[in-house]
Amino acid sequence: MSHRLTQAQLDAHWMAYTGNRQFKKDPRIITSAAGNYYTDSDGRKIFDGLSGLWTCGLGHSNPAINEAVAEQVKTLDYSPAFQFGHEKSFLLAEQITEFMPAGLNRIFFTGSGSESVDTALKVARAYWRKKGMGTKTKFIGRAKGYHGAGISGFSVGGIPANRTLYGQGLESYHLPHTQVPGSEFSKGMAEQGKERAEDLLNLIMMHDASNIAAVIVEPMSGSAGVIVPPKGYLQRLREICDQHNILLIFDEVITAFGRMGAKTGAEAFGVTPDVITMAKQVTNGVIPMGAVAFKQEIYDTFMDNGGPDYMLEIPHGYTYSAHPIACAAGLASLSEIKKQGLIERVSSMSSVWEDSVHQLKDASPMITDIRNYGFAAGITIAPIDGEPAKRPFQIAMAMWDKGYYVRYGADTIQLAPPFTTEQSEIDSLVNALGETIKQQR
Ligand SMILES: Cc1ncc(COP(=O)(O)O)c(C=O)c1O
């Protein structure tokens, strides 16, 4: 532990989603990153087993992104987000639409995934009001869903630990998650669990479609430990939303731009929602940015009912919406994904990834489930009585000591290596994880 920080400096930073007391006793300080590896303050090389926080699929310190950012800082460091524009936001919006399903072609920029979720939910309510259906205000999320840290995100989110401290949120109800008995160790999409979509009908019966604005789900839940949709499940949600005039929002903050071996989760799973939220991979994590893709009819509803044309069609936005440096990073990042053929690479290597992570099944009886899709995997670890989160924490710390960064959350270990990962790196990551889990008690 050779970092130079004093205790007072460590104490001054109240760290996000971190066990601050434990961290400050034993800090894990990252000093640089290049390609698929970090270097820590002891000079150790550490494999990036979660691509940052699902952000850096291109690996770190990509020269094209670095140059684009450096150039942009020198040329136009900031320009006002409201009432005035700069070219790169329009170029990036068009680029993003190339990755989105046909018809989701109107892009609103935000500063993060949480703001993207806020934007999608606010627009959903305002859309129905513009259409004369102002009672459609309730939201439906899903158990184990993660939609960011804002008041709206925690309301529709379904990870208990993220909700219990915060009291009342937006009026939201939750579908059950899809981890049904018998689906354990499914490779890719499980056969079981589609029927959980029928619960949407119960919620509609209870609250009436005339009061429901939108259903929001991650096509693949990331933060809860890679919960892949069962076959036919998302299709059924789509059908029910259509039948009852409810907007369907896919939160693709993790799944957009390649993680699934497809442009989006929507493309991977063959279901087109009305709205897609995104962030993270759009700039390869280099500069904070989020965005929301809306189907054109939603945009047109605001334009057609916007009053005189000098008036705002929707009073919503952020100081950092379409920040020029983020736009420059986004343009370079999306262009690199295309140039390097990384979506195709993830797609073609996903079976190698799948075979490798599922070999862990025999490593330890503590592993009670393994799930995978694209370049993502979640491993459920049997809990210590009364301390369900402890073993994953211990495993992640032991992995860090061995030179691998993996994420732990609730009773799971989560893996999402860069799109550029080689088979030998997959093998060594998975072997190290198997050995580490075997050593647990
Ligand atoms: C699906 C999903 N939605 C929203 C968010 C929130 O994004 P941010 O942390 O950028 O606000 C996340 C972050 O992990 C996410 O995974």
Q: Which atom of ligand 1 sits closest to the CA of residue 221?
A: 1
Å from CA of 112 to ligand 1 middle: 7
Q: Which atom of ligand 1 sits closest to the CA of residue 252?
A: 1
Å from CA of 6 to ligand 1 middle: 31
Question: What's the rounded mean pLDDT across residues 190-206?
Answer: 98
Helix (H) or strand (E) segment spanning residue 436: helix 423-438
d(CA 295, CA 132) in angstroms, rounded, equals: 19
Å from CA of 16 to ligand 1 middle: 13
Per the prediction, the chain carries an average pLDDT of: 97
8 Å CB contact between 138 and 207: yes
d(CA 138, CA 121) in angstroms, rounded, equals: 10
Q: Is 112 in the pocket of ligand 1 (CB under 6 A)?
A: yes
Å from CA of 148 to ligand 1 middle: 4
pLDDT at 388: 83
List, in order, residues 6 or more apart from 94 with CB less than 8 Å away. Answer: none
Residue showing tokens 């303050």 = 41
**Residue type for position 248:** L
Tokens encoding 3: 């970092």
8 Å CB contact between 316 and 109: no
Q: Is 40 in the pocket of ligand 1 (CB under 6 A)?
A: no
pLDDT tens sequence across 114-136: 999 999 999 999 999 999 999 99
Mutate to test the pocket of ligand 1, among 253, 276, 284 (most ligand atoms within 8 A of CB): 253
pLDDT at 2: 78
Q: Is 223 in the pocket of ligand 1 (CB under 6 A)?
A: yes
Å from CA of 146 to ligand 1 middle: 7
pLDDT tens sequence across 24-69: 999 999 999 999 999 999 999 999 999 999 999 999 999 999 999 9
DSSP string, 249-306: EEE-TTTTTTTTSSSSHHHHHT---SEEEE-GGGGTTSS--EEEEE-HHHHHHHHHT-
pLDDT at 65: 98
161 CB burial (10 A radius; 0-12, 13-18, 19+): exposed
What percentage of the chain has pLDDT greater than the value 70?
100
pLDDT at 288: 98
Does domain 66-339 correspond to CATH entry 3.40.50.300?
Answer: no
List, in order, residues 6 or more apart from 272 with CB less than 8 Å away. Answer: 101, 102, 103, 104, 238, 266
Closest CA to 375 of 30, 49, 138: 49
Question: What's the rounded mean pLDDT across residues 76-98?
Answer: 98
Residue showing tokens 């989020």 = 290
Tokens encoding 367: 């592993």
Å from CA of 282 to ligand 1 middle: 13
pLDDT tens sequence across 277-298: 999 999 999 999 999 999 999 9
Which CATH code of 3.40.1390.10, 3.50.50.60, 3.40.710.10, 3.90.1150.10 fits the domain covering 7-58+341-438? Answer: 3.90.1150.10
Å from CA of 309 to ligand 1 middle: 34
Residue 310: other Cβ atoms inside 10 A = 7
- Quick check: 186 pLDDT over 80? yes
- Quick check: 385 pLDDT over 80? yes
8 Å CB contact between 400 and 27: no
Q: Write 203-206 long-range contacts (CB < 8 A, 24+).
A: 203/140, 203/173, 203/175, 204/240, 204/244, 204/246, 206/173
Q: Which atom of ligand 1 sits closest to the CA of residue 222?
A: 16
Q: Is 350 in the pocket of ligand 1 (CB under 6 A)?
A: no
8 Å CB contact between 237 and 199: no
- Quick check: 1 pLDDT over 80? no
pLDDT at 301: 98
pLDDT tens sequence across 387-428: 888 999 999 999 999 999 999 998 999 999 999 999 999 999
Pairing of strands 247-251, 412-415: unpaired
Q: Is 218 in the pocket of ligand 1 (CB under 6 A)?
A: yes
CA distances from 386 to 3, 383, 390 (A): 34, 8, 9
Q: Is 288 in the pocket of ligand 1 (CB under 6 A)?
A: no
Question: What's the rounded mean pLDDT across residues 84-106?
Answer: 98
Closest CA to 329 of 289, 283, 288, 291: 283
Question: What's the rounded mean pLDDT across residues 345-357?
Answer: 98
DSSP three-state, residue 409: strand
pLDDT at 98: 98
pLDDT at 5: 97
pLDDT at 159: 94
Each domain of the chain, given as residue ranges in start order, spans 7-58+341-438, 66-339
Q: Is 148 in the pocket of ligand 1 (CB under 6 A)?
A: yes
pLDDT tens sequence across 211-268: 999 999 999 999 999 999 999 999 999 999 999 999 999 999 999 999 999 999 999 9
Q: Which atom of ligand 1 sits closest to the CA of residue 113?
A: 7
Helix (H) or strand (E) segment spanning residue 7: helix 7-12
Q: Is 279 in the pocket of ligand 1 (CB under 6 A)?
A: yes
Reported pTM: 0.98
Å from CA of 249 to ligand 1 middle: 14
Mutate to test the pocket of ligand 1, among 50, 54, 114, 283 (most ligand atoms within 8 A of CB): 114
Q: Whose CA is nearest to atom 13 of ligand 1?
A: 148
CA distances from 193 to 12, 14, 235, 305, 376 (A): 46, 40, 13, 41, 20
Residue 329: band (very low, low, confident or very high) from pLDDT cuts 50, 70, 90: very high
DSSP designation for 179: -
- Quick check: 316 pLDDT over 90? yes
Å from CA of 115 to ligand 1 middle: 9
pLDDT at 386: 87
